[in-house]
Amino acid sequence: MTAADSADHKPERINRRRLVLYLLGTPLFFVLSVFLPAGTWAWPKGWLFLGVLSVTGALGAWCIWRVNPELYAARINPHRGTKPWDRLLVGLAIPAMLAIFPVAALDDGRFHWLPVPWWVCGVGYVLFLAGMGVVTWAEAVNKFFGVLPASLHESSRLIC
């Protein structure tokens, strides 16, 4: 990419409809996937989890938005030219990751299969926060984190 190309590059606009659906649907999904399987709203570890997840997600999103706002456009907007193996990988990985929430709720909130002491949860939250910090930092400092370089992005639009 030359200097003239980068001067002509306009940031990708965010699909506002998809953003609103994401912002409304994500919290609803987490609440339902945690408390429906738990069978109760009175589950302190579930509320703690949602609180920590919400606060760290909001802080991370705010940091990334300030430093690398194009990352949101690249993730929210659909893109043509995605490889079939990439779609398959994402199609398998995302449901597997999202299954963790209802399984944990069934385990700790409803059936108590493997009771976990609070101190173990504390260690888990420390590790979670450290991981979120590293990922947020990587997304903030690497402008190509999850984003195609502008020249490839533009050529993929022309091809499709």
Q: For residue 52, give both structure tokens.
A: 């920590």
Confidence (pLDDT) at 55 = 95
Question: How confident is the model at residue 109, as a pLDDT?
Answer: 94
The residue type found at 144 is F
Q: Which pLDDT does position 157 carry in this prediction?
A: 35
* CB-count burial class (<10 Å; 0-12, 13-18, 19+) for 70: middle
Q: Using CA atoms, how far apart are residues 30 and 134, in angstroms rounded to an integer?
A: 23
What is the structure's pLDDT at 75? 73
Angstrom CA distances, 78 to 9, 93, 107, stand at 19, 18, 35
Task: Check: CB of residue 118 under 8 Å from CB of residue 46.
Answer: no
**Looking at residue 160, what is its pLDDT?**
32
- Say if residues 121 and 43 touch (Cβ distance below 8 Å): no
Average pLDDT for the chain? 82
Measured CA to CA, the distance from residue 106 to residue 100 in angstroms comes to: 10
Q: Which domain holds residue 86?
A: 3-159
Q: For the chain, which residues score pLDDT lower than 70? A: 1-11, 78, 143-144, 146-160
Domains identified in the chain, total number: 1
Per-residue tokens: 55: 């606060």
Say how far apart CA 105 and CA 29 lie, in whole Å: 13
User: What is residue 10's predicted lDDT score, i.e. its pLDDT?
Assistant: 67
Q: What is the pLDDT of residue 40?
A: 96
Predicted pLDDT of residue 11: 67
